[in-house]
Amino acid sequence: MIPASFDYVRAASVDEAVAALTEHGDDAKLLAGGHSLLPLMRLRLATPAVLVDIGRVSDLSYVSEEPGGDIRIGALTRHHDLAGSELLRERAPLLAAVAGQIGDPQVRHRGTIGGSVAHGDPASDLPAALLALRATLVARGPSGERSIPADDFFTGFLETALAADEVLTEIRVPALMPGTGWGFEKFNRRAQDWAIVAVAAVLNDGTPGVGLVNMGATPLRAAGVESALAGGASAGDAASHAAEGTDPPADLNATADFRRHLVEVLTRRALESAQA
């Protein structure tokens, strides 16, 4: 219930955060909304020696549109604001829908897209949506800024391509043509629960994207489904490929076999929504 002691540092800017991470290395974790990190710290499953609080960095909460089509989302944008963003609902509605189903309203008032994504949890919903949307993640470190495609971002269980001294600053999503079909199917025991399995799908004008939640050590792209769709397969036929290349966990809520079954059902339903 009570975290172990730690030193606390406030960063007023991204540069200050980078400097603090550089100084403390692996001893430090970033604190944004705290809804990925604090639950772990309260159970002492995470015991960082230093917390670098970037929650007050003022210019990292935004949803804006680039001329030319990219949606740019500040890493500290809260799930609540993503769900309510008119721009997002119009240009990348999958993301707004996914954000609106994370946890519960209290969680959504605090949790941020950057915090959720940088945590690298395959059971989180947003990473799978970013895979489906072919998003790019922007990180800033001591040597400057770099862009990381979502496909390269999730490297292992609770591991991302971010270096220990890098801060995720922005998520860029190619804007979808109006009317682009999308679907999101989240399956859980109770409404507030993490997904047992979830599927985020977008039929983006010939380059379909299908992201899977909780089907492996990282969020996964359902490549088999995507190529089937690109080849003209129906929702049902495409969905039959959904479990390919996955390594779903077995836990209290489901066996691996049940997850393999669910992912096909949820994929088909997400695709049917997208095609409707």
Partner 1 sequence: MSIGERMLRKEDARLVTGEARFVDDLVIPGALWMGFVRSPYARATIDGIDASSALEMPGVQVFTAADLQDAWANPMPCAWPVTEDMKAPDHWPLAVGQVNFAGDPVAVVLAPSRYAVVDAVEAVVVDYTPLDPVMDLEAAADDATVIHEGLGTNRSYTWTLSPDPDAVDQAFAAAAHTVSERYLQQRLIPAAMEPRGVAAVPGAYGGDLTLYSATQIPHILKLMIAVTCGLPEQKLRVVAPAVGGGFGSKLNVYAEELVASALAQRLGVPVRWTETRSEAGVATIHGRGLIQDIELAADAEGHITAVRVKLLADMGAYLQLVTPGIPLLGAFLYHGVYDVPAYAFECTGVFTNRTPTDAYRGAGRPEATYALERSIDALARAVGVDGAEIRRRNYIAPDRFPYESIAGLTYDSGNYEPTLDRALELVGYEGLRLEQARRREEGSTKHLGVGISTYVEMCGLAPSRVLASLNYGAGGWEAATVRLLPTGAVQVVSGSTPHGQGHETSWSQIVAERLGVDADVVEVLHSDTAISPIGMDTYGSRSLPVGGVAVAMAADQVLAKARVIAAHQLECAEDDLELVDGSLQVRGTPSKAMTLQAVAFEAFSAHDLPDGIEPNLVGQVTYDPPNFTFPFGTHVAVVEIDEETGMVSLIDYAAVDDCGNQVNPMIVEGQVHGGIVQGAAQALWEEAVYDESGTLRNPTLLDYCVPSAAEVPQFRLGSTFTPSPTNPLGVKGIGEAGTIAATPTVINAVVDALSHLGVTDITMPASPERVWQTIEEARS
Partner 2 sequence: MNITLSVNGRDQSGEVEPRTLLVHHLRDTLGLTGTNIGCDTSSCGACTVLVDGESVKACTMLAVQADGHEVTTIEGLAGSTGDNGAMHPMQQAFHEQHGLQCGYCTPGMILAAVSLLQENPQPTEADIRLGLEGNLCRCTGYHNIVRAVQAAATGEVEA
Interface residues with partner 2 (CB under 8 A) are: 1-8, 31, 34-35, 38-39, 41-43, 51, 53, 55, 80, 103-107, 109-110, 190-192
| 30, containing H or E segment | strand 28-31
207 Cβ neighbours under 8 A, 6+ residues apart: 134, 226, 230
Q: Which does 275 bind (CB under 5 to 8 A by kind): partner 2, partner 1, none?
A: none
Stretch that binds partner 1, among 13-21, 67-75, 90-98, 257-265 (CB under 8 A): 257-265
In whole angstroms, give the CA distance from residue 115 to residue 34.
8
Q: Are 46 and 37 in contact (CB under 8 A)?
A: yes
Token pair belonging to 176: 């979808």
Choose among partner 1, partner 2, none what residue 265 binds, the Cβ cut-off being 5 to 8 Å by kind.
Answer: partner 1
- Told to check if 187 binds partner 1 by CB under 8 A, we report yes
Looking at the Cβ atoms of 44 and 146, the one nearer to partner 2 is: 44
Determine the size of the site formed for partner 1 (CB under 8 A). Answer: 22
Closest separation in Å from C-beta 99 to partner 2: 14
Complex with partner 1: residue 66 or 104, whichever CB lies closer: 104
* Closer of 100 and 216 to partner 2 (Cβ): 100
Alpha helices in the chain (DSSP H): 14-24, 37-42, 79-84, 86-91, 93-99, 105-110, 113-119, 125-132, 150-153, 223-230, 235-239, 256-275
Interface positions with partner 1 (CB under 8 A): 1-2, 4-5, 43-44, 187, 189-193, 196, 252-255, 258, 261-262, 265-266
